[in-house]
Amino acid sequence: MSDQKSGFSFSNLNLRNFAMDSTLVFGVIIIIIIMMLIIPMPEFMLDFLMSLSMLSGIIIVLTVAYLRKAVDFSIFPSLLLVTTIFRLAINVSSTRLILSKGANFQGRMVRAFGQFVVGTTDSAGLVIGIIIFAILVIVQFIVITRGATRVSEVAARFSLDSMPNKYMAIDMDVQNGVIDETEAIRRRAELQEESSFYGNMDGASKFIQGDVIVGIIITLVNIIGGFVVGMAVRGETLDVAVQNYITLTVGDGLVSQIPSLLISFSTGLIVTRSQAKDAIGASVWKQISSQYRVFFIAAGALAVMSILPGFPHIILLILAVSMAGAGFALYRAEKNVMEGKEKKAREAQDQPKGPEDVSSLLKVDPLTLYIGYELIPYVDKNQNAELLNSLAGIRRNLALDLGIIVPPIRIQDNIRLSPNEYSFKIRGQEVGSGYIKTGYMMAMGEGAEELDGEQTTEPAFGLPAYWIREDSRDKAENLGYTVVDGPTIISTHIQELLKSHAYEILGREETNQIISTVRQDYPNVVDDVVKDYSKSVLQRIFQNLLKEGIPVRDMPTILETLSEHDPNTPIFTLLEFVRQSLKRAICSKYKNVEDKLFILRIHPQIENEIYKNIENDKDGEPIIRLKPEVLNKIQLLIRDKVSAMFEDGHIPVIITQPVIRRAVWEICQYINRNIAVLSTRELIPDIEIVLFDQITLVKEQSTTENNEAAAEPAGTAGQA
| pLDDT of amino acid 177 | 56
Q: C-alpha distances in angstroms, 295 versus 284, 289, 298, 318, 319?
A: 15, 9, 5, 14, 11
Instruction: Decide which of 474, 500, 526 is a domain's last residue.
Output: 500
pLDDT at 607 over 50: yes
CATH number for the domain spanning 586: value is 3.40.50.12790
Q: How much is the average pLDDT of 530-536?
A: 89
What's the rounded Cα separation, in Å, for the pair 489 and 435? 10
Is there a single domain that holds both residue 248 and residue 299? Answer: no
Residues 533-550 have a mean pLDDT of 90
Average pLDDT, the chain: 79
- At 713, give phi and psi (nearest 5°): -60, -45
47-62, pLDDT tens digit by residue? 888 888 888 888 888 8
The more confidently predicted of residues 549 and 390 is 549
Predicted pLDDT at 444: 86
- Assigned domain for 355 exists: no
Give the range among 483-487, 637-641, 713-717 with minimum mean pLDDT. Answer: 713-717
- φ/ψ region of 278 (left if φ > 0, alpha if ψ in -120 to 50, else beta) reads beta
The Cα-based distances of 593 to 168, 597, 600, 682 in angstroms read 35, 10, 19, 19
17 belongs to a structural domain: no
Percent of the residues in the chain that have a pLDDT greater than 90, as a whole number: 14
Residues 75 and 175 in one domain: yes
- Residues present in the chain in total: 720
- Burial tier of 448 (Cβ tally within 10 Å: 0-12, 13-18, 19+): exposed
Q: Give the pLDDT confidence score for residue 448 in this predicted structure.
A: 59
Are the C-beta atoms of 220 and 226 separated by less than 8 Å? no
Over residues 525-545, the mean pLDDT reads 90
pLDDT band at 598 (very low <50, low <70, confident <90, very high): very high
Q: Which of 155-164, 497-506, 535-544, 559-568 has the lowest mean pLDDT?
A: 155-164
pLDDT per residue over 231-284, tens digit each? 777 777 777 777 667 777 777 777 777 787 787 777 777 777 655 555 666 666
Q: What is the DSSP letter of 178?
A: S
Q: Can you tell me the mean pLDDT for 641-670?
A: 90
Mean pLDDT, residues 194-209 taken together: 72
Residue 92 has pLDDT above 90, yes or no: no
Whole-structure pTM value: 0.52
Specify whether 178 is located in the same domain as 259.
yes
Asked whether residue 496 falls in the same domain as residue 510, the answer is no
Q: Looking at residue 582, what is its pLDDT?
A: 92
pLDDT at 356: 56
Do 253 and 114 have their domain in common?
Answer: yes
Q: Give yes or no: residues 533 and 614 share one domain.
A: no
pLDDT at 219: 74
Range of the domain at 296: 286-341
Q: 655 pLDDT exceeds 90?
A: yes
Instruction: Supply the pLDDT for residue 215.
Output: 73
Q: Which of 500, 530, 553 is the last residue of a domain?
A: 500
Residue 306 lies in a domain: yes
pLDDT at 595: 87
Q: Is residue 234 part of a domain?
A: yes
**Does residue 668 belong to any structural domain of this protein?**
yes
More confident residue, 682 or 396: 682
Higher pLDDT, 489 or 360: 489
Average pLDDT over residues 526-532: 90
Q: For Cα atoms 416, 420, 421, give the angle at the middle one, nearest 5 degrees.
A: 55
Residue at 594 is within a domain: yes
Note whether residue 182 is domain-resident. yes
CATH number at residue 383: 3.40.30.60
Of 500, 517, 540, the residue that ends a domain is 500
Distance separating alpha carbons of residues 647 and 641, to the nearest angstrom: 10
For residue range 446-484, what is the model confidence (pLDDT) as tens digits?
765 778 888 888 898 888 889 998 888 888 887 878 888
pLDDT for residue 90:
83
Question: Per-residue DSSP letters for 554-613?
Answer: -HHHHHHHHHTS-TTS-HHHHHHHHHHHTHHHHHHHH--TTSEEEEEEE-HHHHHHHHHT
* DSSP notation for 76-127: HHHHHHHHHHHHHHHHHHHHHHHHHHGGG---HHHHIIIIITTT--SHHHHH
Give me the pLDDT at residue 659, please: 92
Phi/psi of residue 487, each to 5°?
-60, -35
pLDDT score of 501 more than 70 = yes
- Cβ within 8 Å of residue 684, ≥6 positions away: 583, 584, 587
What is the pLDDT, as a whole number, of residue 178? Answer: 59
Output the pLDDT for position 10.
Answer: 43
Q: How confident is the model at residue 702 (pLDDT cuts 50, 70, 90)?
A: very low
Quickly state the pLDDT bin for 365 (edges 50, 70, 90).
confident
* Banded pLDDT at 704 (limits 50, 70, 90): very low
Burial class (CB in 10 A: 0-12, 13-18, 19+), 53: buried
Report whether 657 contacts 603 (CB < 8 A).
no
Q: Are residues 259 and 379 in the same domain?
A: no
pLDDT digits (tens, 9 = 90+) for 271-321: 776 555 556 666 667 777 777 788 888 888 888 888 888 888 888 888 888
Using 50, 70 and 90 to split pLDDT, how confident is the model at 9?
A: very low
The per-residue pLDDT for range 393-413, each reduced to its tens digit, is 787 788 888 888 888 888 888
Q: Provide, rounded to the nearest whole percent, the portion of the chain with pLDDT above 70.
A: 80
Residue-wise pLDDT tens digits, 125-138: 667 777 777 777 77
Same domain, residue pair 54 and 201: yes
Same domain, 226 and 104: yes
Do 478 and 549 belong together in one domain? no
Q: Report pLDDT for 123.
A: 63
Question: How many domains does the chain contain in total?
Answer: 5
pLDDT at 511 over 50: yes
Beta bridge partners of 290: none
State the average pLDDT over residues 552-567: 91
Position 700 scores a pLDDT of 44
| 554 plus 703 within the same structural domain | no
The helix/strand count (H/E) of the chain reads as 28, 14
The verdict on residue 353 lying in a domain is: no
Query: Which range is least confidently modeled, 70-79, 509-518, 577-586?
Result: 70-79
Q: How far is CA 71 from the centre of its chain?
A: 17
Pair 131, 189 in one domain: yes
Question: What is the structure's pLDDT at 578?
Answer: 92
Residue 383 banded pLDDT, cuts 50, 70, 90: low
Q: What is the pLDDT of residue 15?
A: 52
Q: Say yes or no to pLDDT of 424 above 90.
A: yes
